[in-house]
A and B are shown apart, each in its own frame.
Chain A
Amino acid sequence: MSTIIEFKNVDKEYKSGEHILKAMDNVNFTIDKGEFVVILGPSGAGKSTLLNLLGGLDSVTSGQIIVNGNHVESFNDNQLTEYRAKNVGFIFQFYNLIPNLTAIENVELMKDIVDVDIDGLSVLDSVGLGNHADQFPAQLSGGEQQRVSIARAVAKQPTMLLCDEPTGALDSKTGVLILNLLQDMSNNRNTTVIIVTHNAILAEAADKVIRIKNGQIESIAVNENPMKVTDLDW
């Protein structure tokens, strides 16, 4: 398997007045293509920060982030935009769908940013929402909205899916459904999926588990025989 993501000595500092907070402190790791990665850690550890840096939403203080051989940390605004458009599919805790657009329109919106022909209906079908295509986000349940947001993220066939507590706002049954979907994306489409979660049980389903604490990597574990999400004991 080939390394697709590499963090090299990444530091991220937040300055608030005199006070400097190290949200990322010399972070190093690699992720291979198609891996299903789970990031664990206590609140405030820096999980979201890590994801945001990787997704090109924020910039490092020092260090390198190499994706597909490109140095993300050196990108300018336009390059970052293009990087996000082509490589990154974000999935948030609160879905962040465009309320103005129906489910299918939210998905087909991606046609405007990448040169891929998207059949919105079949993508929605793949997340089991084919018959909700014309509903607006407000007319969908939380789980359904999250599935639309996954559909939207995968529609543009990104290199990686970055999921920040994707099940945080859902009940556990719906959560499993979502996580299962994400695992499928990783297994069947060979998409790299990185999930931030508080739920340690998910570690057993991961190819790789990265634990962080106080902005530092605590451990990186590779799981030789990951379980299926649906087989976990929730």
Chain B
Amino acid sequence: MSLSKKMLRDIKINKTQFIAIFLMAFLGIFAYTGIYAEYYGLVQTSDGFYTDTNMADAWIYNTDFDNASLDKINGFTTQSDRQEVIQSQADMESKPDITLHFIEKGTISKFYATEGEDFNPNDDSGVWLDTRFAEARDLKIGDKITFEFDNRTITKEIRGLGYSPEYIYEVSPSSLTPDFNEMGFAYLSAKAYPEDLKYNTLLVKYDMSDKDFEAKLSSIDYLSLTKKEDQLSVSKFSDEMAQHKMIGDVFPIVFILVTFLTLLTTMNRIVAHQRTQIGILKAVGFKDSSIILHYLSYSFWPVLAGAILGLITGPMIIPQMFYPSMKTNYSMPSWNPGFDVSFIYIAGLMVVLSVLVTYLSCRRISKENPANTLRPKAPNVSSKAIIEKSRFWNRLSFNMRWNWRDARMNKFRALMAIVGVMGCVALLIAAFGMNDSMAELKSWEYDDIVHYESKLLLSSQANPMELYYVLNETNGSFIMQQSIEIKANDVEDTVTLLASNNTDLISYTDSNRNPIDIDEGDVSISTKLADKFNLAIGDEIRWHIVGEDDWVTSKIGQIHAEPISQGLIMSPDTLKDQGLNFTPTNIITDEKFGENLDSIKSVTTIDKMKESWDQMTTSVMMMVYVVTFVAGALAILVLYNLGILSFTEMEREIATLKVLGFKTNTLRKLLLTQNIIFTSIGFILGIPLGFYFMTLMMNAAGDSLYYIPTLTLGNIALSAVITFAIAIGVNLMFSDKIKDLNMVEALKDVE
């Protein structure tokens, strides 16, 4: 059909605009599906992993689950499996901590072997080992490994390497990121236990509500119960996913909204611009339906192509940018991007809405009688605004008056420009704000709080003589750092305990980063936790050290602020006052310590700590880069599109002004002024919105991070430079167009 020839020619003439539409559809869908695919990937992969390994619904702890109590529990559970869980040290350099699981059946929370054999509950000479630990220590199938615990020693042969659903996250209280060189887990058959085994853990599956289950369980003797969602690894990983979801709920939605807005305006404008052509087509006898169909294909093809490309590449590319850093912190057999039908819906919605807007604009025009359409549409201005009647108006330059009127007559285009810029600016501000915040947290922690050079990790079976020797050699100080579980006001959380004497090596700070003292006898809680638990000085909390059963009650004596780890701080004596032992886990020192001693498991320097901070924040930083990039690209597209829209709409006016004798420069300034004004308004409105996004994202960046979001001048300046550079850059592209504008041709046709 000849109309398709017309379409091809139109596309060729408006090449850049169609490319912009295509790119915008692409970018919107790319960012949206990509970021969500990352999140869904985490959800789907972990769910799949839990299902494949038949993850336990709850863990019941006791000193010994004998057959009698097991029988009782079996009465209201669907499955159960007993284990003896023991902390051990592997007999190799630095004595890494390995958690041993001696398993009766191996039917719940199954070991997921990726190498070697599957777990065999009858094999008494084999061990199935944490693959992350094995990698770090270069252990292979068939290697022998010796574990020491409770003055016993067992040596087993590695039968399989793999993962466990209970260890997606492995705790390591003394470092920010898990150090797989120093810890791991191992699964063994119950028969591998050197003597008569007492089971201290019972894994169960049940098909009733948690509440009913707890009610049934109350008739049975046990020490404690952990439900699946409270299990450390599960809750850590679901926190992580919640953070990703939070980020995912802000950015892609802004992206997609800005994209929709620009896309729809553009489609509407293109059709409006073809008004006369529509009139002509009608006048020569084309049916309404074939005209509309013709224009529908304008939006359909580029948007469809862009959306499909985004739909394919987004989930393929974006998740792979995040997963490597996730892998350093979490362990799962596979990391696959997720997919959700909503991706297809949103891409479909984009195509459908674009087509719909085109259809509506088109139908409105084709409903008019052809004679009408053949004349330019009367601008919809009715009366003068007050400002235009004032004296002041006449003193305004032509440039200002013209731009004011243009904005008034094209309110939608103006609004669209402002909203588009606003969205992009907000994204930039939020992204840079995150960047600043993370840097601020790092400097707060490592410049203001930590003054030691190295932190020595002590073996749990350290020799006291050796420790005091090291303490003297290094002029160091003992600290104790442990994961603790806190309960207060019906809230529970796993956080960190720091017990340390007053030393110059650590400064405590308040929310303004000013040094404070934590007084002898005071239990101090970090601000973020106090807020979370809704606690004030004088309130009581219950807490215990993870892995120990003694719960203690303490009164809050003080509140301190800590940027990167939340929890309690007290002196060793105060700890003893609570009825707990001070067992040092680390020595901190200002000096270097290079001796190889059995009591010292590892030495972490401040540089290593900073490195591990950087590693921990990679995924946040990655998000910052992705967002900055997409926001920048989107800003270019939005401004370019609007530029091209106003240019085509004003082409005739510009030609007229040129004929009248206006200089190219004056005309360029006309467009530039408009561009700058819209960009400025969008920019100013974008700042508070960006601040809001930033707050959302910082909250999402981590439960353990405490930060007061602030807008720095640097951030605003950088966002301004980028935004205005794009605005002016886009304007420059149009300068040449003005210069080369062929007046004769521009004025020849009616439109």
Interface residues of A (CB under 8 A from B): 48, 52, 55, 57-58, 77-78, 81-82, 84-86, 88, 90, 92, 94, 96-102, 105, 109-110, 112-114, 134, 136, 138, 152, 156
Could you tell me the distance between the alpha carbons of A90 and B401 in the complex, rounded to whole angstroms?
Answer: 23
Smallest distance from the beta carbon of B272 to chain A beta carbons, Å? Answer: 14
Q: Which 5 A-B pairs have the closest CB atoms?
A: A85-B661, A138-B378, A100-B405, A84-B661, A96-B656
Smallest distance from the beta carbon of A161 to chain B beta carbons, Å? Answer: 13
Does A78 contact B653, Cβ atoms closer than 8 Å? no
Interface of B is mostly: helix
* Chain B residues whose C-beta falls within 8 Å of the C-beta of A97 in the assembled complex: 656
Interface residues of B (CB under 8 A from A): 378-379, 381, 384, 398, 401-402, 405-406, 409, 652-653, 656-664, 666, 739, 743-744, 747, 750
Could you tell me the distance between the alpha carbons of A96 and B651 in the complex, rounded to whole angstroms?
Answer: 11
Smallest distance from the beta carbon of A154 to chain B beta carbons, Å? Answer: 13
Smallest distance from the beta carbon of A87 to chain B beta carbons, Å? Answer: 9
* Chain A residues whose C-beta falls within 8 Å of the C-beta of B744 in the assembled complex: 48, 52, 57-58
* Chain B residues whose C-beta falls within 8 Å of the C-beta of A58 in the assembled complex: 743-744
Does B750 contact A98, Cβ atoms closer than 8 Å? no
With A98-B656, A136-B381 as given contacts, are A57 and B661 in contact (CB-CB < 8 Å)? no
Does B652 contact A112, Cβ atoms closer than 8 Å? no
Could you tell me the distance between the alpha carbons of A52 and B664 in the complex, rounded to whole angstroms?
Answer: 19
Q: Which residue of chain A is the closest to B663 with respect to CB atoms?
A: A81
Smallest distance from the beta carbon of A72 to chain B beta carbons, Å? Answer: 14
Could you tell me the distance between the alpha carbons of A55 and B384 in the complex, rounded to whole angstroms?
Answer: 34
* Chain A residues whose C-beta falls within 8 Å of the C-beta of B406 in the assembled complex: 100
Smallest distance from the beta carbon of A117 to chain B beta carbons, Å? Answer: 14
- Cβ 8 A contact of A84, one of B401, B652, B660: B660
* Chain B residues whose C-beta falls within 8 Å of the C-beta of A113 in the assembled complex: 660-662
Could you tell me the distance between the alpha carbons of A105 and B381 in the complex, rounded to whole angstroms?
Answer: 15
With A57-B744, A96-B652 as given contacts, are A84 and B659 in contact (CB-CB < 8 Å)? yes
Could you tell me the distance between the alpha carbons of A89 and B748 in the complex, rounded to whole angstroms?
Answer: 17
Smallest distance from the beta carbon of B269 to chain A beta carbons, Å? Answer: 16
Does B381 contact A98, Cβ atoms closer than 8 Å? no
Could you tell me the distance between the alpha carbons of A94 and B748 in the complex, rounded to whole angstroms?
Answer: 9
- Cβ 8 A contact of B663, one of A78, A88, A92, A96: A78
21 chain-A/chain-B pairs, Cβ below 8 angstroms: A55-B659, A58-B744, A78-B663, A81-B664, A84-B659, A84-B660, A86-B661, A88-B659, A92-B747, A94-B750, A97-B656, A98-B653, A100-B402, A100-B405, A100-B409, A101-B405, A102-B384, A105-B401, A109-B398, A136-B381, A138-B381
- Cβ 8 A contact of A101, one of B401, B664, B750: B401
* Chain A residues whose C-beta falls within 8 Å of the C-beta of B663 in the assembled complex: 78, 81
Smallest distance from the beta carbon of B62 to chain A beta carbons, Å? Answer: 83
Does A114 contact B747, Cβ atoms closer than 8 Å? no
* Chain A residues whose C-beta falls within 8 Å of the C-beta of B402 in the assembled complex: 98, 100-101
Could you tell me the distance between the alpha carbons of A78 and B658 in the complex, rounded to whole angstroms?
Answer: 11
* Chain A residues whose C-beta falls within 8 Å of the C-beta of B747 in the assembled complex: 92, 94, 96
Does A114 contact B657, Cβ atoms closer than 8 Å? no
Smallest distance from the beta carbon of A132 to chain B beta carbons, Å? Answer: 14
Q: Which residue of chain B is the closest to A109 with respect to CB atoms?
A: B398
Q: Which residue of chain A is the closest to B379 with respect to CB atoms?
A: A99
Does B653 contact A77, Cβ atoms closer than 8 Å? no
* Chain A residues whose C-beta falls within 8 Å of the C-beta of B398 in the assembled complex: 109, 112
Could you tell me the distance between the alpha carbons of A101 and B406 in the complex, rounded to whole angstroms?
Answer: 9
* Chain B residues whose C-beta falls within 8 Å of the C-beta of A112 in the assembled complex: 398, 662, 666
* Chain B residues whose C-beta falls within 8 Å of the C-beta of A109 in the assembled complex: 398, 660
Does A110 contact B659, Cβ atoms closer than 8 Å? no
* Chain A residues whose C-beta falls within 8 Å of the C-beta of B666 in the assembled complex: 112
Could you tell me the distance between the alpha carbons of A12 and B739 in the complex, rounded to whole angstroms?
Answer: 22
Q: Which residue of chain B is the closest to A113 with respect to CB atoms?
A: B661
Does A100 contact B661, Cβ atoms closer than 8 Å? no
* Chain B residues whose C-beta falls within 8 Å of the C-beta of A88 in the assembled complex: 659, 661
Could you tell me the distance between the alpha carbons of A136 and B380 in the complex, rounded to whole angstroms?
Answer: 10
Q: Which residue of chain B is the closest to A84 with respect to CB atoms?
A: B661
9 additional A-B residue pairs with CB within 8 Å, beyond A81-B663, A92-B747? A81-B664, A84-B658, A84-B659, A88-B659, A90-B660, A97-B656, A99-B409, A138-B379, A138-B381
Q: Which residue of chain A is the closest to B657 with respect to CB atoms?
A: A98
* Chain A residues whose C-beta falls within 8 Å of the C-beta of B384 in the assembled complex: 102, 134
Q: Which residue of chain A is the closest to B659 with respect to CB atoms?
A: A90
Could you tell me the distance between the alpha carbons of A80 and B702 in the complex, rounded to whole angstroms?
Answer: 65
Q: Which residue of chain A is the closest to B739 with respect to CB atoms?
A: A77
Q: Which residue of chain A is the closest to B378 with respect to CB atoms?
A: A138
Could you tell me the distance between the alpha carbons of A114 and B409 in the complex, rounded to whole angstroms?
Answer: 27
Could you tell me the distance between the alpha carbons of A86 and B652 in the complex, rounded to whole angstroms?
Answer: 21
* Chain A residues whose C-beta falls within 8 Å of the C-beta of B659 in the assembled complex: 55, 57, 84, 88, 90, 96
Could you tell me the distance between the alpha carbons of A52 and B656 in the complex, rounded to whole angstroms?
Answer: 13
Q: Which residue of chain B is the closest to A95 with respect to CB atoms?
A: B656
Could you tell me the distance between the alpha carbons of A85 and B381 in the complex, rounded to whole angstroms?
Answer: 29
Could you tell me the distance between the alpha carbons of A61 and B744 in the complex, rounded to whole angstroms?
Answer: 16
* Chain B residues whose C-beta falls within 8 Å of the C-beta of A86 in the assembled complex: 661
* Chain B residues whose C-beta falls within 8 Å of the C-beta of A98 in the assembled complex: 402, 653, 656-657
Does B379 contact A100, Cβ atoms closer than 8 Å? yes
Q: Which residue of chain A is the closest to B399 with respect to CB atoms?
A: A112
Smallest distance from the beta carbon of B273 to chain A beta carbons, Å? Answer: 14
Does A81 contact B653, Cβ atoms closer than 8 Å? no
Could you tell me the distance between the alpha carbons of A3 and B750 in the complex, rounded to whole angstroms?
Answer: 35
Smallest distance from the beta carbon of A96 to chain B beta carbons, Å? Answer: 4
* Chain B residues whose C-beta falls within 8 Å of the C-beta of A114 in the assembled complex: 661
Smallest distance from the beta carbon of A170 to chain B beta carbons, Å? Answer: 13
Smallest distance from the beta carbon of B519 to chain A beta carbons, Å? Answer: 72
Could you tell me the distance between the alpha carbons of A102 and B657 in the complex, rounded to whole angstroms?
Answer: 15
Could you tell me the distance between the alpha carbons of A94 and B746 in the complex, rounded to whole angstroms?
Answer: 12
* Chain A residues whose C-beta falls within 8 Å of the C-beta of B653 in the assembled complex: 98-100
* Chain B residues whose C-beta falls within 8 Å of the C-beta of A48 in the assembled complex: 744
Q: Which residue of chain A is the closest to B656 with respect to CB atoms?
A: A96
Does B661 contact A77, Cβ atoms closer than 8 Å? no
Smallest distance from the beta carbon of B237 to chain A beta carbons, Å? Answer: 59
Q: Specify which of B401, B406, B663, B739 lies most central, judged by the most chain A CB atoms within 10 Å of its CB.
A: B663
* Chain B residues whose C-beta falls within 8 Å of the C-beta of A84 in the assembled complex: 658-661
With A57-B744, A96-B747 as given contacts, are A81 and B662 in contact (CB-CB < 8 Å)? yes
Could you tell me the distance between the alpha carbons of A112 and B670 in the complex, rounded to whole angstroms?
Answer: 13
Q: Specify which of A52, A86, A99, A114 lies most central, judged by the most chain B CB atoms within 10 Å of its CB.
A: A99
Q: Which residue of chain B is the closest to A52 with respect to CB atoms?
A: B744
Could you tell me the distance between the alpha carbons of A178 and B743 in the complex, rounded to whole angstroms?
Answer: 24
Smallest distance from the beta carbon of A5 to chain B beta carbons, Å? Answer: 18
Q: Which residue of chain A is the closest to B403 with respect to CB atoms?
A: A100
Q: Which residue of chain B is the closest to A78 with respect to CB atoms?
A: B663
Q: Which residue of chain B is the closest to A164 with respect to CB atoms?
A: B747
Could you tell me the distance between the alpha carbons of A114 and B656 in the complex, rounded to whole angstroms?
Answer: 16
Could you tell me the distance between the alpha carbons of A85 and B659 in the complex, rounded to whole angstroms?
Answer: 8
Smallest distance from the beta carbon of B242 to chain A beta carbons, Å? Answer: 52
Could you tell me the distance between the alpha carbons of A58 and B661 in the complex, rounded to whole angstroms?
Answer: 14
Q: Which residue of chain B is the closest to A136 with respect to CB atoms?
A: B381
* Chain A residues whose C-beta falls within 8 Å of the C-beta of B660 in the assembled complex: 84-85, 90, 109-110, 113, 152
* Chain A residues whose C-beta falls within 8 Å of the C-beta of B656 in the assembled complex: 96-98
Q: Which residue of chain B is the closest to A149 with respect to CB atoms?
A: B656
Q: Which residue of chain A is the closest to B389 with respect to CB atoms?
A: A134
* Chain A residues whose C-beta falls within 8 Å of the C-beta of B661 in the assembled complex: 81-82, 84-86, 88, 113-114, 156
Could you tell me the distance between the alpha carbons of A43 and B661 in the complex, rounded to whole angstroms?
Answer: 28
